[in-house]
Structure 1
């Protein structure tokens, strides 16, 4: 006979299950299930998912979290420790991989995580860090669900615009990223693989990370770049933005709000395509360098806002951040200088941190980037790209309109009052001002100055949320009413068909909104104005968010179907030092200018190419000036002519010249039967042929 458990036992079991469902682990588990389902739907194998998750968890998060706790004392919550631990795991993995790859033994990268875990098991003084001695709070369940919702949005967004898109039709720069992963899989120090002999004047540490992950797990680089690699970075960044908001805003509500503003609030776009926006975090999936840098930078910021600086951890993170993304150290230096300049009696640690940042910035600029990158002082360059060669007064006027748009997103910072003088918030404001200033005052042939604004976005959002909390309160009903009026006003004045030139079309609707905001300012207080400005931004925000999760029309395929198979055949039948030549340089051969962002030959073969696409070569960017980099022809026309002659008018002499003069071993091209007489055909499918030359130099 089975006895029923007593009522008190049933109550305890029910409450225990309720606590588990209401804890932070339930939303995390649900998002994990969503990610697995999406990746399986998009063709990732179970084997790759399990191995990738195992490596991220055991090879990166575990040793990174242990080191983070030992060097910094850990965070207040498990979520903070795990997110910062992942960032620190990456920061340790990259410098471990580079010498391992340099000596020809890439799997030696595993020595570091194994040694770390062993040390924390065997050394008694380190064992306490397994428990997390600094943990003092949990993320409230409601906040965990909010953050899980943001991550779920990022997963669906990526699934719609990347994971579920055929490789040949995906975002055009992804083959470039894939080519750099292939370069770091086989060469340290790296060079630009798509143009033989060009230096790699680019932030390349994330490609070292992906290369290390590929070697350890056996996962194809293509799967990492197009599917798995950046999602853990993006998830941890969401958590750390919320952690920073919680530390400076005083509650998890502030943290959730900061993350929400970062990912979901955009400046009002009343005239489409004329005012550049507040820069969506779209590079979550489009730019591994920006995503990697964003995570490392968020970890740096969690150190800087603490009362006590942890110099060893800061130095490690800054060292890797210097090669992760060139955008971040200048922003950080600007923020630290702001603290030192405004708070002249601030703690000495801010000045030391500024000096440390400057040192890493100089080393990165000289050693890693060779003084390149193409960014220059060029006021209004971004505006001219949108509005053409307008006069300086017109550009200044339209720049004012853009700044008004940014105020609609981050105007809450005006409520900080005396809190704006607190060093952590001064740091946020300095970073934000530098990001906005860079977008206005700098230029780049590929408009890369806008990455500064995107990089500053989370910290402007944190400052705005803290300002809302610091300002005198206003009733929720009044705030909602003003936001609704603002949204209605933005919809009412949006006028894409206004007659007249661009200034009239742009300034008129924004002037109406600015006058209304000024009237509310004179009759109310800061939160009333912030509510109205937020309302202005809501229609565009809803439209942008919906577009992020709405399938696009079928994209034009830029890569032929047989290219990947041919590239992998060549990779499997050649050596990493072999050089490939191709006549494939332009995505759209019939265009008046060559879109030389052509990188899939190097990407799929993991080999260096004599001349493929030169769009991002330093020799191209250095000559671009104020012109588009797509208008710049290849720098070495003699080499290009010799390369192309072997394909267009093949003879024994010009084909063999590629081998003798340039060291070419392989030819990768379309269907060219005329080459069969001068090179050995090794592979051919419906779209692509691979030839082998008899000898190199």
Structure 2
């Protein structure tokens, strides 16, 4: 019933934010019967029996995604994209027709496979909060129609353009710059393209409303499933879910974070939080996270009871994760290497399955780097503590990045504060010291716990050691967060005595959580009276003190309360101390939700422009007309290359112009050139930020722009004969556009400030 209640709320919310009931029903039917049901049947068949329904369905979602994407890639390459749902129909038909396979349709009759209602309420409530956050943080500022859609985030047009290319081509190229391959994690675009073909839903609706929802909900369920696998306790599994999504870095400051930190909900110090707009602005991360959680579950199953079918699912999901978000592959390798080290120290031998998984993972990592990504680094370099330069609070205060002076002592201060935050978020990790006394916390084999701990720690290590001009090293922390949370929940289970009265313990834990939140609230309220906003004094020392003192006071108060709890000698005192710290960390997510709710109530619940408009009016209508009246292989030229509006700069061209390709679903000679491997290479060579790198082929750009600035039979002819351009998509707000373009190219369509011309349609 909790899941049904959330489903009804989601349906109503989607309708409020512009998704038709038909699209919602079509999408739900496709995900249910085209992905979850066949995936669940394959999962059950590989295990040899039906199990816990939540586990089977969540794992089935990941397996179904993997099958769907691989089938679509083959079907699209063969020119038969509508054939993709055949794999699901064939699987369902096979399990209906073959008598010995019909048993996998039945649910398990074992008592341990029945879900407690309260556990379902926690996980479903988590899904409900994630959906509400999506509404107030993302849906309200990402409208499906103009004028609201003219000011999205900078990345959504990029994702939409790649979905369009995945609908019509395989392999993918960067459609805004047709000669550049996509050296990126691109399987999510194939998944959304397959869904669009099967349901008829517009890619834009899938990207900013529907597509990531089952991925988010599936991740929450899989974290809960893995938590139960690790600990054997329902409460610890629910705790892992809550820690993963809602226990964030404590935020005692009274001043708002600056720039994109406040815009994207990034916390004061990097904690890998998922409670920010990246849930939607990075579909590759969201897709990769659910696939990887399914892979970890499948790997644990294969290690526990090896069989050809179980290992086949592991191979399937390794392939899917490699193309979905290859960031996870080296993290899995790190986890497996830690398992090998622990097994060698404890047993003097290594489980053959662990060695096989390590070899498979290493092969996938090499394939991703040298085949899928062509050896490109995409701007990632070894740059220790780069994250400290761009952490929210120090960046806002001008402390870690002040006049380009990154003094080591400043970075070490930020690192120390970050470590304090991590200690408050994951204090349960201290319980892992008891692993030797009580191995497994519900299982005699510590391998699963060591594996997830290694995955989580690898995310921390990558954050500390690597750097990227766009802060992309933070994705490692985001990727590792669920696994640190699982390990912390398992450690908490080791700290908590078994057999305690449930009601008494729950009441005390709730009181401890409330106490932790109250402590942080007191410090937060004291702030405006005690210390001015950082950066206003001009003193580096005072700025450092303004950053440090709220955490010192908070820790002092928390330590005092923890000492009093310890003095009571309650059996669960360790659990209560952890809950006290969790309360201070939960307060941050409550602050985020409260802030977004307040802003929505004041500024509107939908159709809100988060920035000044920068997408050209008429883009969607003109793009869709071109899509409907041209062939998928037709090449288009445009005069639009630089992002304007809030992204316009006097010093250069922001090269992330993607939205013409996004709505036209066609490839362009030169639209923008951002987010390509070539742009990152040019940035590394020149020292210029990749989004401001000039285009590296000036003769091609000159040929392109001459057709719009000096239109003639010759300049248009160069586009048609030399570059095989068939169409022109024109931004008529360009002050350099010639009014004589219609003399040499035929106007076919105009919508507001965007016009479509056909090359070669006029007789000279």
If the length of structure 2 is used for normalisation, what is the TM-score? 0.83
3-state SS in 1 of match to 2:273: coil
Query: Structure 2 matches for 1:144-163, cutoff 5 A?
Result: 144-163=120-139
Q: Which residue of 1 aligns with 2:46?
A: 71
Does 1:654 find its partner at 2:715? yes
Contact 1:73 1:134 in 2 (8 A): no
CA distance in 1, matches of 2:80, 2:682: 39
Does 1:682 find its partner at 2:748? yes
CA distance in 1, matches of 2:8, 2:577: 41
Return the offset for 1:349: 1.9
Does 1:276 find its partner at 2:337? no
Contact 2:513 2:581 in 1 (8 A): no
Give the 3 Å change call, closer, same or farther, for CA 69–436 of structure 1 in structure 2. same
3-state SS in 2 of match to 1:465: helix
Given candidates 666, 673, 680, the residue that maps to 1:607 is: 666
Q: Which residue of 2 aligns with 1:629?
A: 690
Contact 2:432 2:490 in 1 (8 A): yes
Give the 3 Å change call, closer, same or farther, for CA 595–505 of structure 1 in structure 2. farther
Given candidates 276, 283, 288, the residue that maps to 1:288 is: 283
Contact 1:486 1:532 in 2 (8 A): no
Give the 3 Å change call, closer, same or farther, for CA 628–513 of structure 1 in structure 2. farther
Q: Which residue of 1 aligns with 2:325?
A: 325
Given candidates 558, 569, 592, the residue that maps to 2:625 is: 569
- Per-residue CA deviations over 1:395-441 (Å, capped at 9, x if unaligned) read 12321221221222112211222328722221122111111121221
CA distance in 1, matches of 2:246, 2:50: 27
Contact 2:50 2:106 in 1 (8 A): no
3-state SS in 1 of match to 2:727: strand
Contact 1:445 1:627 in 2 (8 A): no
CA distance in 2, matches of 1:573, 1:478: 64
Does 1:394 find its partner at 2:369? no
Structure 1 window deviating more from structure 2 (529-538 vs 246-255): it is: 529-538
Return the offset for 1:277: 2.9
Does 1:591 find its partner at 2:649? yes
Q: Which residue of 1 aligns with 2:442?
A: none
Contact 2:333 2:361 in 1 (8 A): yes
Query: Structure 2 matches for 1:207-222, cutoff 5 A?
Result: 207-222=189-204
Does 1:88 find its partner at 2:63? yes
Return the offset for 1:572: 0.7
CA distance in 2, matches of 1:269, 1:195: 42
3-state SS in 2 of match to 1:689: strand
CA distance in 2, matches of 1:533, 1:91: 38
Give the 3 Å change call, closer, same or farther, for CA 688–303 of structure 1 in structure 2. same
Structure 1 window deviating more from structure 2 (63-72 vs 424-433): it is: 424-433
3-state SS in 2 of match to 1:343: helix
Contact 2:523 2:553 in 1 (8 A): no
Contact 1:266 1:277 in 2 (8 A): no
Q: Which residue of 2 aligns with 1:299?
A: 294
Contact 1:562 1:686 in 2 (8 A): yes
Contact 1:486 1:533 in 2 (8 A): no
Give the 3 Å change call, closer, same or farther, for CA 560–376 of structure 1 in structure 2. same
Does 1:378 find its partner at 2:380? no
Return the offset for 1:587: 2.1
Contact 1:240 1:298 in 2 (8 A): yes
Contact 1:415 1:526 in 2 (8 A): no
Q: Which residue of 1 aligns with 2:485?
A: 461
Contact 2:248 2:273 in 1 (8 A): yes
Return the offset for 1:262: 1.3
CA distance in 2, matches of 1:623, 1:664: 26
Structure 1 window deviating more from structure 2 (542-551 vs 594-603): it is: 542-551
Return the offset for 1:651: 3.5
Return the offset for 1:652: 3.3
Root-mean-square deviation (Å): 2.6
Give the 3 Å change call, closer, same or farther, for CA 505–661 of structure 1 in structure 2. farther
3-state SS in 2 of match to 1:305: helix
CA distance in 2, matches of 1:125, 1:365: 42
Return the offset for 1:471: 1.4
Contact 1:665 1:695 in 2 (8 A): no
Return the offset for 1:606: 0.4
Contact 2:227 2:240 in 1 (8 A): yes
CA distance in 2, matches of 1:80, 1:157: 25
- Per-residue CA deviations over 1:11-42 (Å, capped at 9, x if unaligned) read xxxxxxxxxxxxxxx22222121122122222
- Per-residue CA deviations over 1:523-572 (Å, capped at 9, x if unaligned) read 85854653443344243232123245552663232223311000000011
Query: Structure 2 matches for 1:142-221, cutoff 5 A?
Result: 142-164=118-140, 165-166=142-143, 167-221=149-203
Contact 2:638 2:731 in 1 (8 A): no
Q: Which residue of 1 aligns with 2:5?
A: 30
Given candidates 67, 79, 85, the residue that maps to 1:104 is: 79
Q: Which residue of 1 aligns with 2:358?
A: 354
3-state SS in 1 of match to 2:653: coil
Unmatched 5+ residue regions in structure 1?
A: 1-25
Structure 1 window deviating more from structure 2 (380-389 vs 607-616): it is: 380-389
CA distance in 1, matches of 2:484, 2:731: 50
- Per-residue CA deviations over 1:49-81 (Å, capped at 9, x if unaligned) read 222222111111111111111112356411111
Q: Which residue of 2 aligns with 1:229?
A: 211
Does 1:430 find its partner at 2:454? yes
CA distance in 1, matches of 2:639, 2:121: 52
- Per-residue CA deviations over 1:618-658 (Å, capped at 9, x if unaligned) read 11112333653223222223322332232234343323222
Contact 2:523 2:554 in 1 (8 A): yes
Q: Which residue of 2 aligns with 1:452?
A: 476
Structure 1 window deviating more from structure 2 (642-651 vs 614-623): it is: 642-651
CA distance in 2, matches of 1:493, 1:447: 32
Query: Structure 2 matches for 1:477-496, cutoff 5 A?
Result: 479-480=512-513, 483-484=516-517, 486-488=519-521, 490-491=523-524, 494=527, 495=531
